[in-house]
Amino acid sequence: MSHTVIQFNGHERLLAKVKGYLHAMDKLIQDGDQAMDLLIKALDVADDETKLKIVLLLGSMGAARAVWPLYRLMTDLNQNDTIRHAAASQLSLVGAMTKDHGALVDNLIADLGYHHAAVRAAAAFALGWEGNQRAVGPLVDALCDVDPEVQQAAVGALANIGDERLFDVLANAMWRSTKEQQRCILYHLSCFKSHHKEVVDICAHYLGQGDADLRYDALVVLDSVCGTQKPLHLYLQCLEDPDRRIREQALVYLAGADRGQLRRKNMDLCVLPLVQDASPVVRQAALRLLNHIGHGPVPV
């Protein structure tokens, strides 16, 4: 019985020390490797809330010794989803900051073939750090995984690797993908800064498609890559969309365009009909845009 009490007290002291680090980063930095050892040791006895905080701290420290503790958490299906996802995310950060990450990459690539989809998805996510070229081939293969979460994790990882040449890989994968994967890829294409013109063309294509969710996503991505140089003809097209969300969002984005350009294009004439729209939020957005253009108060 005394042995049990001593062990319990040992765990309590360990967690008290670790919680002190969580609230005193200067002490954590001062204690260095000793603090890191205690954080890692506490992972086995901490409650989920404390464990999550430790995981996030380990990733931010970027120490190589955090790699395998994070990896064990990521692949432990007895952990909750939040902790495993956080471990994968922090593992990607540590991998990017660690020079000798060959063994880690080997293990993560091997895990892309694991029988449980949650582990495959976590491994794909963890492989997504800038410059991780070794992971490109296996991640491209993972785009065809049977599980949608694995597919989406692979998309995000390929975008995070930061190789502009991967734009064509993802863009081509869109045309043969499910709706959810198309949506995921569409958002990630905006990460490829040298291909924004192609992204505009892809968005224009989706704005003319029958699926309202894809049209909405295309509009959001379109605005994110266009900046202040908005393709007004595409926004005008969206003002006539049958989906309320798209009409409203187009009006909001137009309000961020140059006022002089909107006046020269007589945009107020296109917006005025929406003051009588069936949707209250669209009517309000139309009024705000007309005021931005300088049309003045408009009666509803």
Structure tokens at 264: 């020269």
- Which is more confidently placed, 6 or 276? 276
What number is the average pLDDT over the span 116-142? Answer: 96
Q: Where are the alpha helices (DSSP H) in 43-116?
A: 48-61, 67-75, 81-97, 102-111
Residue 207 to residues 142, 199, 220, 236, Cα–Cα distance (Å):
28, 12, 11, 11
Q: Label residue 296 by pLDDT band (50, 70, 90).
A: low
Structure tokens at 54: 């430790």
Mean of all residue pLDDT scores within the chain = 89
CA 222 – CA 234 distance, rounded (Å): 9
- Residue appearing with tokens 């003045």: 296
Say what the pLDDT of residue 212 is: 96
CA 192 – CA 159 distance, rounded (Å): 8
Burial class of residue 134 (count of CB atoms within 10 Å of its CB; 0-12, 13-18, 19+): middle
Does the CA dihedral 249-253-259-265 come out positive or negative?
Answer: negative
Report, in angstroms and rounded to the nearest whole number, the Rg of the chain calculated over CA atoms: 25
Structure tokens at 31: 């204690």
| Residue 243 phi, psi dihedral angles, 5° rounding | -90, 125
207 has pLDDT over 80: yes
For 96-116, what is each residue's pLDDT tens digit? Answer: 888 888 999 999 999 999 999
218 has pLDDT over 90: yes
CA 183 – CA 148 distance, rounded (Å): 12
Q: With contact defined as beta carbons under 8 Å apart, do 243 and 215 qualify?
A: yes
297 has pLDDT over 80: no
For 227-283, what is each residue's pLDDT tens digit? Answer: 777 888 899 999 999 999 999 999 999 988 888 888 888 888 889 999 999 999 999
CA 151 – CA 135 distance, rounded (Å): 14
- Residue appearing with tokens 């420290």: 61
Q: CB atoms < 10 A from the CB of 180, how many?
A: 13
Highest mean pLDDT of the ranges 36-40, 92-96, 114-118 = 114-118
For 137-148, what is each residue's pLDDT tens digit? Answer: 999 999 999 999
How much of the chain is helix, strand and coil, in % rounded to 5?
75, 0, 25
